[in-house]
Amino acid sequence: MDTKLTTTNHATNVVGLTYVYPVISRRLGGLSVGINLNINNACNWRCIYCQVPDLKLGAAPALDGTLLESELRFFLNEVLNGDFYERFNVDQDKRVIKDIAIAGNGEPTSLKKFADVISLIGRVATEMGVFPESQFVLITNGSLIHQSKVQAGLKVLNSYGGEVWFKFDSATTEGRAQINNTAQSCKTSLENLILSSQLCKTKIQTCLVDYNQQGLSMDEQVAYLDLLKQVKVMCPNLDQVMLYTLARPSLQPEAELIQPMPMAVLDLFAEDIRKLGFSVSVNK
């Protein structure tokens, strides 16, 4: 019997494919079919909670579309018609494809032909009967959404009823530098967030970790809530926030300095966000 798939096992090589990997999603309660475009472990940010080994600065490499299509067709057929769930000992209540999620080992929107891969995945999943029953999700740090190639991809994603999960971990310059290792301003990220929501359904995804036993400071809370107030005015249809914390060990140099944010802290913060009119989910 193969290794049991659980919500804490997100290895991209678990089924031996290059671009496609399975995840049992803790948020969705079922199978998420992951698409890893950054097979070189390269990203334009370096979040200190990242579980990618040997992470490096860079962009996604050129895509082998033929290989991606063959892997996706093979894997979906194994799930839909084969013995995938039995081989990986997936719990009975998790044996459903909840989504196909473009995530992986770096920032996926850095792929040069980003819109083409969105089209490819949408076409294959539709032909095989996975869409529209299952979701089509892009998980992104949102840093490149001002680029025309990314906007073209979001339009295609929207045509398949997809959605963007936009990373926004901190609304302060210090927090973004500390947690995400990015110099991109909060203002630019906010502009990209609004743009994303205009092109495709978008949700805010926020990972809160306790860095060096500092907890969630009042400055961070106030800045984040002020950001959401701006979002509410600029784009009322963007009304969903996903809060979560560290579930698997970080593989970054700061690993020993970070711990999961206590759920009690997340729950209290979620209540403050809900008071602004947002729907909030909280996960470990």
pLDDT of 267 = 97
For residue 26, what pLDDT band results from cuts at 50, 70 and 90? low
| Domains of the chain with CATH codes | 20-283 (3.20.20.70)
pLDDT score of 1 more than 50 = no
| Alpha-carbon span 137 to 33, nearest angstrom | 10
Q: What is the pLDDT of residues 68-89, one digit of tens each?
A: 999 999 999 999 999 999 999 9
% of the chain exceeding 90 in pLDDT: 89
Mean predicted lDDT score pLDDT of the chain: 94
pLDDT score of 266 more than 70 = yes
Q: What is the pLDDT of residues 148-187, one digit of tens each?
A: 999 999 999 999 999 999 999 999 999 999 999 999 999 9
pLDDT score of 7 more than 60 = no
Instruction: State the Cα torsion 76-162-282-103 to the nearest 10°.
Output: 60
Q: What is the pLDDT of residues 95-123, one digit of tens each?
A: 999 999 999 899 999 999 999 999 999 99
pLDDT score of 28 more than 80 = no
3-state secondary structure the chain: CCCCCCCCCCCCCCCCCCCEEEEEECCCCEEEEEECCCCCCEECCCCCCCCCCCCEECCCCCCCHHHHHHHHHHHHHHHHHCCHHHHCCCCHHHCCEEEEEECCCCCHHHCCCHHHHHHHHHHHHHHCCCCCCCEEEEEECCCCCCCHHHHHHHHHHHHCCCEEEEECCCCCHHHHHHHCCCCCCHHHHHHHHHHHHHHCEEEEEEECEEECCCCCCHHHHHHHHHHHHHHHHHCCCCCEEEEECCCCCCCCCCHHHEEECCHHHHHHHHHHHHCCCCEEEEEC
| pLDDT, average across residues 245-250 | 91
pLDDT of 104 = 87
C-beta of residue 87 within 8 angstroms of C-beta of residue 1:
yes
| Alpha-carbon span 58 to 46, nearest angstrom | 10
For residue 10, what pLDDT band results from cuts at 50, 70 and 90? very low
Neighbours of 279 (CB within 10 A): 12
| pLDDT, average across residues 118-136 | 98
Q: Give me 273's structure tokens.
A: 């966000």
pLDDT of 4 = 56
276 strand-pairing partners = none
